[in-house]
Chain A
Amino acid sequence: MSEITLNINGKQCKGKQGDSVLDVCVANSIDLPTLCHYKGLTDVGACRMCLVEIEKERNFVPACTHPASDGQVVKTSSEKLEKYRRLILELMFTERNHLCAYCVDSGDCELQSLAYKYQMDNARYQYAWPTQVTDSSNPFIVMDHNRCILCGRCIRTCDEITGAHALDFGKRGWKTNVCADINQPLGESSCISCGGCFQACPTGAIFSKASAYRGKPVECTTVESTCAICGVGCDIKALVKNNRLVRIDSPDMTKPRGLLCEMGRFEPLYDSAERVTTPLNRNSKGQLASCSYEEAFEIIAKKFGASDSVAGLASGKASSEALKALADLMDKLGSKLVDTLDGDDCRTVSQGIARFDSKAGLDMEAKLEDILTADCIVVIGAHPTKSHPVIGSYIMRAASKNKAQLIVLDPLRNPFTFRASVWLKPPEGKKELTVKALGKAILDHGLPKAAGDKSKFSADFKEVDVKKAGKDLGIDVHDITRAGQLLAESKNSIIIYGSGILEYKDADLVATILNLAALTSEKPSVISLKRYGNSRGAWQLGLGNPRGPVASDLAKGKAKGLYLLLADDLTESQALTDSIKGVEFTVVQASYLSPATAKADIVLPSLLWTESKGSYTTLDGINKKTSPLVKAPADIKTDADTLKEVARHLKK
């Protein structure tokens, strides 16, 4: 892009063709007040704070929407401009009910800071005192229209960053208001509670319930870390006061993995489950009682030392360090009975990939950012808006911004189905035939010559008769052929599959999906949604037992002892508690009391991801690190240290 030079306040300032005047000011560290501008969002020129004087322009123009051009002579400050800016502030303060003394955002408000800057000690206009509502119907977010300046930052964040577009302006003129969907309460709307709106809100119009009045940013310390809840691994910036989490923000919402979701933003703030704070030992009365680490380690060493078969089970919520320590412990015990709680998923995905191409490992899967550039997205048996909301946002963004074609293959309605170009609803247990019919439809439509020879991948599909399959499935044949056509014509498709496929534990089906992806692109672009934050880390450490589920070994009584590393996993599973039943001696290492700890003989405490330093591998294979945001409520060892101590106490 060609370089341009502007004269701003008498200084020669360089910019690029296509920049706005504001962009050039920012690049050259020229201070310009803004309210509706937010990094990464489209500028709309709503607030008029960034008005500047440009020579030969008839009027003052907003710098954010005015294109910069070579040779422009710009003045960002003059007596008249400052007068106008103060006037605009006064109009904003009198238009709604901005009363700082009882506003949650006082002290952290861009409108207030500008009023201070322009020494707005009174307003000369008559106050409108409009009757506005405060909408607190959303469980996490409050929308107080009294404080709204209609800058539209929330709306643009919801649309351009989150991809939900739950918010927009409603009504006209004086009655204009931010509203959710068709003017519904936020809690009943299509809002996915990602919290992007309140992070972007310059005033106290949108705020988080859990953060309100807990501390202003100036009173807090800021810690940057990674969210370890799901496998996306978003960057987070936590505000902490008195060892309490006040707020979790994104350090930069416009960056990849900068977007947060309901889980990452709110789950740690609403944590109320009962913690394990000391090691617990089952006493002679059969009750769990607090004991010292040393006592617990001695008992474990004695029991495990005497037992010839000890199994290890780990949740993918544990950090890689902890998982590695568990693997080492099992090595020392000479046990091959190690598995993860999502071991079935691991086996299905890995074997599926091996059947597709024996050499390719998990690394053949696509990166999450590939979703944003895809032109056709197929979502098979996955509900990312629930399990991995940020992936859901990526898909919605690709569909709305890049006009990516969306094909949903799922029996149930989900937030994508109404945006989908084609929604194929396979009946129960017939996803495989649907996938195969889709593959055949691609072949029937014909691939461009440039695609090369695809015969290697078409074996799964060749035999299928689309018409007959449509009849069997109860799906309109036109839908299948249309989906096939969209995929055949796409240049850059991606397939996302999840629990709806993995639940069948069918590696062939995974291989078929990979073949389907290989038909339309040179390098198949596929992402499997893994259940836990560090599932992939656990799989890569080889903890997913390739021979089959260890849980079933346990149920058959093949192991006398069990070491269950739950970490901060609270997902209750009947299969898990059942598998413990057949074991004589169980150690559970967990952050929270749960049905699993209730059955344990020894319980060892575990730190939360918000309390410890650890490595996590995202579901697309990126290594991320967490930093402790708060201190644990008690003196708890890290998971890895606890496991190493257990190993050290073993006599062998």
Chain B
Amino acid sequence: MAKVKVATVWLEACSGCHMSFLDIDEFIIDVSKLVEFRRSPITDIKTFTPVDVGIVEGSVGNEEEKEIIEELRHNCKILMAWGDCACFGGVCAMRNTFNKEDVLRRAYIETPSTYNGKIPVSPGVPALLDKVYPANQIVKVDCYVPGCPPEPEAIKYGLTELLAGRIPVVPSNIMRFD
């Protein structure tokens, strides 16, 4: 059987979800037998090719992240969201109760350790979106594994179900939001 092609991306998040993925112990050997990683922060491949499963960790908070998730969606058949940031907005969404300008001013100018700070305007630095969005508010998401980070057990469940050809819904007993 041909290997299932997978691409994972790490957007606005701490990479804890990918860490949790690496935390699935010996199951990772089974996964590697069945799955081929086409792109992931672990392999450091940056280009997209069409895959069966796309996995997104992190929320969408700037232009670059929006572009990446849109490109991933375009290139994958099934999109799975990992972690609270991708599912609900998570810690990154804390900035949503302030407006963008205040957040930038606070971060680049007002913090006590900043001297002569400036808000970066270089075209090389992606511009912030007005808000931080969970993945499903930007593109269609097919399944979710919430948690901050998700339990390795939940990540394992999600992958097992997908590999079995089913769309996973994490059972209550292993679902966590923290």
Query: Is the C-beta of B89 less than 8 angstroms from some C-beta in chain A?
Result: yes
Q: Of A93, A101, A132, A146, which contacts B178 at CB under 8 A?
A: A101
Residues of A within 8 A of B136 (CB): 122, 124
CA distance A127 to B89 in the complex (A): 9
A100-128 contact mask (Cβ, 8 Å, vs B): 1 or 0: 11110011000010011101011110110
Does B5 reach chain A (CB closer than 8 Å)? no
A122 to B146, CA, bound (A): 8
From A102, A121, A123, B175 is in contact (CB under 8 Å) with: A121
B73 nearest CB across to chain A (Å): 15
B175 touches A100 (CB 8 A): no
Q: Which residue of B lies closest to A124 (CB)?
A: B136
Query: What does the 1/0 interface line of A122-140 toward B look like (CB < 8 Å)?
Result: 1110110111100000000
Complex CA–CA separation, A146 to B89 (angstroms): 15
C-alpha gap A116/B88 in the complex (Å): 14
Task: Please tell me if A450 contacts chain B, counting CB pairs below 8 Å.
Answer: no
Are B134 and A121 within 8 A (Cβ)? no
Contacts A122-B88, A122-B134; is A100 near B97 (CB within 8 Å)? no
Decide if A97 is an interface residue (CB 8 Å cutoff): yes
A130 contacts across to B, CB distance below 8 A: 97
Contact B97 A132 (CB under 8 A): yes
Contacts of A124 in B (CB 8 A): 136
Considering only residues 114-137 of chain B, those with a C-beta below 8 Å from chain A are: 131, 134, 136-137
Chain A residues bordering chain B, tally (CB within 8 A)? 25
Distance (whole angstroms) from the CB of A547 to the closest CB of chain B: 65
CB neighbours of A107 from chain B (8 A): 178
A218, CB-defined interface residue at 8 Å: no
Given the interface pairs A101-B148, A129-B131, A132-B97, the reply to whether A122 lies near B91 with Cβ below 8 Å is no
Question: A residues within 8 A CB of B176?
Answer: 116
List, in ascending order, chain A residues with CB within 8 A of B91's CB: 99, 101-102
Which A residues are in CB contact (< 8 Å) with B35? none
Task: Answer yes or no: B177 CB below 8 A from chain A CBs.
Answer: yes
Give the distance to chain A from B43, nearest Cβ to Cβ, in Å: 27
A129 and B61 CA atoms in complex are apart in Å by: 14
Asked if A116 meets B172 with Cβ closer than 8 Å, knowing A107-B178, A129-B96, the reply is yes
> In the complex, A124 Cα to B134 Cα: how many Å?
10
Q: B85 to nearest A CB, angstroms?
A: 9
Closest to A146 in B: B97
> For B141, what are the chain A residues with a Cβ–Cβ distance below 8 Å?
122
- Asked whether, in the complex, the Cβ of B88 is within 8 Å of the Cβ of A93, the reply is yes
Are B84 and A127 in contact, with the CB atoms below 8 A?
A: no
Give chain B nearest CB distance to A44 CB in angstroms: 27
A132 to B96, CA, bound (A): 11
Q: From A101, A127, A132, name the one whose CB has the most chain B CB atoms within 10 angstroms.
A: A101
Bound: A119/B176 CA distance, A? 10
Q: B96 contacts A127, CB within 8 Å?
A: yes
Q: Which residues of B contact A132 (CB under 8 A)?
A: 97
Q: Please, which residue of chain B has its CB at the minimum distance from the CB of A130?
A: B97
Q: Is B169 an interface residue (CB 8 A)?
A: yes
Is B178's CB under 8 angstroms from A100's CB? Answer: yes
Chain A hits for B162, CB < 8 A: none
Q: Would you give the shortest CB distance from B84 to chain A, in whole angstroms? A: 5
Interface centre among B136, B137, B141, B145 (most CB of A within 10 A): B137
Q: Which residue of A lies closest to B136 (CB)?
A: A122
Which residue of B has the minimal Cβ distance to A94? Answer: B88
The reply to whether B145 and A121 contact each other, CB–CB distance below 8 Å, is yes
Query: Which one of A100, A106, A117, A121 has the highest number of Cβ atoms from chain B below 10 Å of its Cβ?
Result: A121
Kindly provide the distance from the CB of B90 to the nearest chain A CB, expressed in whole angstroms: 6
Does B27 lie at the interface of the complex (its beta carbon under 8 Å from any beta carbon of A)? no
Contacts of B178 in A (CB 8 A): 100-101, 103, 106-107
What 0/1 pattern do residues 449 to 488 of A give for CB contact below 8 A with B?
Answer: 0000000000000000000000000000000000000000
Q: Could you say which of B84, B97, B143, B146 contacts A97, with CB atoms under 8 Å apart?
A: B97
By beta carbon, the residue of chain A nearest B83 is A101
CB distance from B51 to the nearest CB of A (A): 22
Query: Which residues from B are CB-within-8-Å of A101?
Result: 84, 90-91, 148, 177-178
- 11 new A-B pairs (CB below 8 Å) besides A102-B94, A116-B175, A129-B131? A97-B96, A101-B91, A102-B91, A107-B178, A119-B170, A121-B144, A121-B175, A122-B87, A122-B134, A124-B136, A127-B89
22 A-B residue pairings within 8 Å (CB atoms): A93-B88, A99-B90, A101-B84, A101-B91, A101-B148, A116-B177, A119-B170, A121-B87, A121-B144, A121-B145, A121-B169, A121-B170, A121-B175, A122-B81, A122-B88, A124-B136, A126-B137, A127-B93, A127-B134, A130-B97, A131-B97, A146-B97
Top 3 closest A-B pairs, CB basis?
A100-B177, A101-B148, A121-B144
**Which A residues have a C-beta under 8 Å from some C-beta of B?**
93, 97, 99-103, 106-107, 112, 115-117, 119, 121-124, 126-127, 129-132, 146
